[in-house]
Amino acid sequence: MDPKDYKKNVAEYADAAHGVVHSHFRTYLIVFMALLLGTALTYTTGRMHLGNWALVIALVIAFTKGTLVAMYFMHLAEAKGTTRLLMGICLLFIAVLIGYVLGDFGTRFRPANSQGSKWSDLPASSTTRGESPDMPRELGTTP
């Protein structure tokens, strides 16, 4: 490749080859502080015994922290549309997958669920011996 073209590419690569590359230090420092704050917040709320809300609050904080990392540390905020679409679709399909699986457990004929679980009326006879709760003891010991 011609060196002239190379120089042109470098020039168009950054705003300019001389000095116009600006530092993101301030942004990164703010994001870092926000992430520490989020960690403190999730630690505090996680110890407050909020019952069912604990999961919701923890997930909201985790998604906020995750978005900060992805947007600023990973530059998704200034990325092209394809990249963002890729991650968006990825998360969407994970949500669909979790939805399917939990929908299955939640709507099953109750005796079909694992013994001792919240969705079964059968006691867990085997778990106190440290065996798999999915396997009834009678079946587990049959030779």
Partner 1 sequence: MQSETAAHPPSRLAGHFASLPVQDNAARLGMWLFLSTEVLLFAGLFVCYASYRFLYPETWAAGSRLLSLPLGTINTVVLIGSSFTVALAVDFAKQGKNRLVFFMLLLTLAAAATFLVIKGFEYSHKFHAGELPGVHFHMKETEGLLPGMPLFFSVYFAATGLHALHVIIGAGVLTWMALKAWRNHFSVGNYVAMENAGLYWHLVDLVWIFLYPLLYLI
Q: Cβ of residue 99: shortest distance to partner 1, in angstroms?
A: 10
Instruction: Please check whether residue 38 is in contact with residue 65, taking contact to mean a CB–CB distance below 8 angstroms.
Output: yes
Instruction: Please check whether residue 54 is in contact with residue 45, taking contact to mean a CB–CB distance below 8 angstroms.
Output: yes
Q: Count the neighbouring beta carbons within 10 Å of the beta carbon of residue 87.
A: 13
Residue type for 44, please? T
Q: Cβ of residue 119: shortest distance to partner 1, in angstroms?
A: 6
Instruction: Please check whether residue 62 is in contact with residue 55, taking contact to mean a CB–CB distance below 8 angstroms.
Output: no
Residue 120: alpha-carbon gap to chain centroid: 29
Kindly state whether residue 110 participates in binding partner 1, applying the rule CB under 8 A.
no
Q: Which is nearer to partner 1, 64 or 142 (CB)?
A: 64
Q: CA-based Rg of the chain, rounded to a whole angstrom?
A: 26
Q: Cβ of residue 69: shortest distance to partner 1, in angstroms?
A: 5
Q: Which residues of this protein are in contact with partner 1, per CB under 8 A?
A: 1, 3, 5-6, 9-10, 12-14, 17, 21, 23-25, 28-29, 31-32, 35-36, 39, 42-43, 46-47, 54-55, 58-59, 61-62, 65-66, 69-70, 72-75, 79-80, 82-83, 86-87, 90-91, 93-94, 97-98, 101-102, 105-106, 113-119, 124, 127-128, 130-133
